[in-house]
């Protein structure tokens, strides 16, 4: 990825995350603008896509727009009607007239779809939304500190990573310019060690 596009990607990501996390005191446990934040807890059923302690940002979408392959957040349906209070984060593996079939990405812990043995196919009223971005391990911070301290810490960490991404992008742009200038002049090219910046998975 080129430096300009990398910086642009980091900026867009940071804006989205900061808007969600800084206002998490209002967003957590409530649905504002169709967005909600959940902790990934307590099983490793979505490894390697999601780890225990991740935060996931969920967007409410029309049930008819959900596609096979998307990761959704839902409450297990109750036979006879209604939904459990438990919240599950799994991937949609099949769509039928009865509802959605889901399965964890970790095939060692989840070798088969959840439905219909664990619970009935997931119906529209039990779907919370689709996962749009994940924040690795920030759920542990959310659990370790009381609000609003946890929200402030999470937002600060995300902002720090964004600034590091921005700095790294600028350094790469400067190094590229130096290499091009050295190549044009026929001189030696000096390379600095590239910093290791953590990447969000999603």
Q: In whole angstroms, give the CA distance from residue 181 to residue 188.
A: 10
pLDDT number for residue 154: 64
pLDDT tens string 97-142 = 999 999 999 999 999 999 999 999 999 999 999 998 887 766 666 6
pLDDT tens string 40-97 = 777 899 999 998 888 888 888 999 999 999 999 999 999 999 999 999 999 999 999 9
**Annotated domain spans of the chain:** 3-167
pLDDT number for residue 25: 41
Q: Could you tell me which CATH number the domain at 3-167 has?
A: 2.10.109.10
Please determine, for residue 5, whether its predicted confidence score (pLDDT) is greater than 60.
no
């Amino acid at each position: 990825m080129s430096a300009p596009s990398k910086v642009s990607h980091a900026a867009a990501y940071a804006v989205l995350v900061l808007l969600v996390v800084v206002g998490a005191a209002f967003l957590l446990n409530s649905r504002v603008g169709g967005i909600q934040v959940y902790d990934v807890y307590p099983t490793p059923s979505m490894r390697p896509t999601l780890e225990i302690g991740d935060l996931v940002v969920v967007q409410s979408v029309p049930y008819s727009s959900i596609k096979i392959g998307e990761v959704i957040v839902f409450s297990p349906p109750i036979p006879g009607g209604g939904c459990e209070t438990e919240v599950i984060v799994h991937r949609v593996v099949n769509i039928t007239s009865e509802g959605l079939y889901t399965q964890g990405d970790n095939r060692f812990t989840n070798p088969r779809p959840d439905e219909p043995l664990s619970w009935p196919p997931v119906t529209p009223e039990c779907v919370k939304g689709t996962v749009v971005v994940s924040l690795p391990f920030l759920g542990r911070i959310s659990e370790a500190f009381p609000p609003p301290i946890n929200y402030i810490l999470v937002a600060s960490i995300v902002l720090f990573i964004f600034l590091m991404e921005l700095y790294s992008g600028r350094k790469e742009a400067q190094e590229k310019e130096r290499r091009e200038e050295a190549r044009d002049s026929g001189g030696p090219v000096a390379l600095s060690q590239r910093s290791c910046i953590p990447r969000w998975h999603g």
